[in-house]
Chains A and B, each alone.
Chain A
């Protein structure tokens, strides 16, 4: 009787597509399969447009951005409704220069509140995009970004509280590339050889729209990888060095990146800018909201070589990220990435130790047993000091912990040595693995005021794994 019931359940559970399987092996089936919009490497990598200033003054560049609905062609032949900065996904890249202020006027044309957080930027508290500082529907706000920090790959995205898992998923994210003279002196690849890549996992409905199903525990997991808004695209490259600025723009998915059969990638920068020296990587863990600057030298490969950048932790459609097709051309470049890229700044000794326990409370994610409460202040570091913060993960999910407005150095991981790719540069987001403890040294400068720190798995942050800190002068 028991078995009988189980078989009935099994029959009921079997998909109705049993008969369609046969058609896949006919020539018509093969053609249908080739037409699948999910076939990887069918589209060329889209270049993300760059935003031009509407006005330049002697000290600042002024930008105007509409936060609006739009349509993107993500699957060939289908229109996907999105929210986007200027109505595009991913939003337009802002290229700024250290020492020159950017003034970004954001106009919210959506029917709900929004705001903008410059992730990784040194930004005064009033312009940081605190979850409670929102732009009402139909309103505007002028964000002032002083850009008084070293060159780095930053990004800007929506941060209205409780909604980010949906708004970022539907497109409110964009790159913000900060450049400086030091980088220029190093003669790193620029122009068309400096390529931003936004990686995110998505799912789809039959009409081509993004499909979102909530999972507060694990976070959203899509079955398809998009790079710059295209399904696992291909990119034709010359035989020379390229700089790729990768952003993990996924809601909650962590990746392990690998090029081809474990080919060499040179990491030159992390979240907070250049490392002190380049680091060879053949396998890179990549958590939500982290950035990774990689130099890949395609002179090592013969014309016709195809290298797939892929995710070792993926399944089926979330394995292939993109493919590089090595063409002719190039080959005579003699530029080498310098062995030393920047000095390591001395930091003041830490003045305090704080410990943050990350876990699941009653129906919500918590830090030290607390949900987000904008009326409560959870930490008050002193301006200009450094503190040792330990994140202790008491769950079996990854928590990419992010501190707004400040950078930190990774000191220790309970799971093993800290990789030089994380140790030799500044970070603003650190993936805390299941049951791991990670200690960072955070530097509370240059600005004082009210900021937040939170888990950047967006479903966790929305419910409600976020605390507040106020830097006291």
Chain B
């Protein structure tokens, strides 16, 4: 516990020091060094608890009504702390180069807010008092807001920042209500005093909306595709990789307070997961901006996580421990896996952005020749996020499939139906994600450069490359070593499912041989690839191997502009699903014998933003503008308002007593 608090303290002190330092270079060194040191100090107790060390807690008096400085690391917290510290440390190393060599104006404040963000992430996860939790939650929201609006000379970035600020506070309002209702029974806001009271359904919905806004469940996701691309890339990685997972953490923590949930809770999660997953990946497919594509893909992956939680809840309700354990285990593992590959992809996208100064996919191409190592790592990340064996994404999706197939074969219709929905959704998401990421990698890294920016790209320096490559290696390691990772999950699963330890352990042990065989098949695939490659090399040695232009059916002057574009690549699918995502097209055809112009443009704005939130917020603004005459800028009248309010309150209290 002390070590963890020391880490948080290091982060905060380093952040403040960075703010006070005059030179940007000094601030960067101090900020990065303290971030790494803080993360290292924090990761040690988390690993210890996961490997079986006892739960540690600390309670200090805090002079705030209902508040207490009450922190604890149990298995659930430790599990979420691991990706937070791991990814943040790598992002800090990356940021050291990204922020000083990029096109952004380097400023010392970025490290203050970055370190504060990491510290608040850790505090959110270890806080055991609602006031402390909400304070940490708010610091997290504000620190990330300032990081999102870092490049605030761009109007689009400012807009993204304000969308984020509003969305996050609307979400927090639901949490405030949730905690007040939870604490109503005992009159304490400490988590260990919260217990299952009445109205479990209402509390569940409050948590789903409040935490779901942070996690990015559809339709509360609208801030996500705005904010994540706007932030500097290493911050995007932390936000997409771990910050949105605090929403999932919050939901899991709330589940431990609520006790048994009604049957519809599982269905609701499956529904939310299916919607977020399918629509998230469809929107991702339709994007032209690389980082926006990745942001929508986070919505998709959060959907997969929610699907797993739904399966787990269905399993608990149907008294089927196998489904409960596999659902939650797949979900939890996907939390870590998504942190790894989405972190990797955002850092890779940042390297592309820095090398080419554009996020427009259709302006890129041919980067694999120019940035071979970043390209390889990005390819591994893309394959992992599509859930391809033998990488890590496959393991978590397989656990969900195993649970769903098991429920399909052995449980009654009530539990088999949601399981079948999950199978259908996972299969569809798998296919669409493959389309999305072959597009992202293929158009950005393969073929010929489509613009001068892309043609002049070069590999980033070692501080940016190393974190990317480490994450790529992690994708492979988790994929191959999966059987050994199930054991440490057991205590976390005991906490969230409420099942006895031996039941959870026996369920997990039953799956170990399957996962073993799977890893074996993964290794066999790697060996076979090497073997076939060797045979190919042997066959071609000594024969004529020449190069020529790409065969384009006799056309003799292929040019980069003739390549298939990202929007053409995605067009069959975006057309097919147009009723769901509403892609708009503007087309002016060439006309006449000597056509002068022709143009095509397509865009896919977020339907929820356009159709749901915009009308609501415009309506609110219109109705509130009726009171604008109250606000005219004369301070003395404002003071008068305050005086009147106080007087009215005084009279009210006097009347009441």
Partners in one complex: no
